[in-house]
């Protein structure tokens, strides 16, 4: 009997540890396609403006999200809020910005993870009736959109912001625990749209039409700088280059822009030397 109890207890401990270790993913998207800059747990994640941001393999729990939103009349708006991510779920938020009202970050979905981008937010809409019945968003998720009068911006609380010159906050500095910005090793951030098949074909043809590897490399980098690509399509792109060092340089540059990084190993067939593969692997770990 004691052995059975000990066995059950051990299984429960293992199960609890497994659940605790389960990562979380999150998506942020603007309701009307307005670009924003995102600082997540104190880390700037976007270069320029992004309309959608996806973050993989985060530590579950509370995280800080700060949005810098451009305005047509001068200084951008700084909006900082706190979000809660459940383990093993991909949570989606929509940033709502409307003239005369403060921004609101609205939770629209939380679905089980199914692969690297499993269950991500899609469809372009949100449910204004969404209610966080667990109460975990109480006190930091502002579900009172529309209740403030025009121009009545709150400077207190977690969701408040000011539109002053320094963009300062009244609620203190970021708490950057846990380490790695709250992200598990191997996590990925995507703030750009994935290239469609016809876009990849056009890019491959454009790169192939150049006479020198230096020109091909420049065109490929420029296209990937604001895009996300599949590993197999990156392999096609590497095939347009003549020299091994050019392929290595492009693979190292493109790794953060690969949507299915679990398939990145497929690009290694493009290299002639094992040393090239090792160099790319080392760069991907950093």
d(CA 270, CA 273): 9
Question: In this predicted model, what pLDDT tens digit does every residue of 259-278 receive, in sequence order?
Answer: 777 788 999 999 999 999 99
Segment 134-153 mean pLDDT: 33
Contact 93, 108 (CB under 8 A): yes
Between 192 and 108, residue with greater pLDDT: 108
**77 phi and psi angles, rounded to 5 deg:** -90, 135
CA dihedral 89, 252, 225, 26 (to 10 degrees): 10
Domain ranges within the chain, ordered by starting residue:
22-190, 197-285
Contact 42, 181 (CB under 8 A): yes
Would you say the pTM of this structure is higher than 0.85? Answer: no
Number of CB atoms found within 10 A of residue 3's CB? 7
């Amino acid at each position: 009997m004691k052995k059975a109890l000990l066995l059950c207890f051990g299984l429960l401990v293992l199960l609890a540890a497994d659940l605790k270790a389960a990562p979380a993913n999150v998506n942020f998207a603007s309701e009307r396609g307005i670009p924003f800059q995102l600082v997540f747990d104190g880390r700037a994640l976007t270069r320029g403006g992004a309309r959608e941001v996806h973050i993989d393999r985060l530590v579950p729990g509370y995280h800080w999200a700060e949005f810098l939103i451009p305005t047509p009349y001068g200084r951008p708006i700084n909006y900082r809020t706190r979000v809660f991510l459940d383990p093993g779920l991909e949570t989606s938020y929509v940033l709502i910005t409307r003239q005369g009202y403060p921004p609101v970050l609205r939770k629209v979905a939380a679905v089980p993870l199914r692969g690297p981008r499993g269950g991500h937010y899609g469809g372009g809409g949100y449910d204004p009736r969404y209610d966080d019945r667990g109460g975990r968003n109480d006190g930091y998720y502002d579900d009172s959109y529309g209740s403030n009068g025009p121009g009545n911006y709150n400077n207190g609380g977690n969701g408040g912001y000011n539109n002053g010159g320094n963009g300062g906050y009244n609620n203190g500095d970021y708490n950057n625990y846990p380490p790695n910005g709250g992200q598990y090793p191997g996590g990925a951030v995507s703030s750009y749209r994935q290239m469609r098949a016809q876009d990849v074909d056009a890019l491959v043809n454009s790169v192939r039409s150049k006479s020198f590897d230096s020109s091909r490399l420049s065109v490929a980098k420029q296209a990937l700088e604001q895009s996300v690509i599949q590993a197999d399509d990156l392999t096609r792109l590497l095939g347009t280059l003549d020299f091994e060092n050019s392929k290595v340089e492009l693979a190292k540059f493109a790794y953060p822009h690969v949507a299915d990084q679990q398939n990145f190993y497929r690009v290694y067939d493009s290299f002639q030397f094992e040393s090239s593969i090792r160099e790319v692997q080392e760069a991907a770990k950093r």
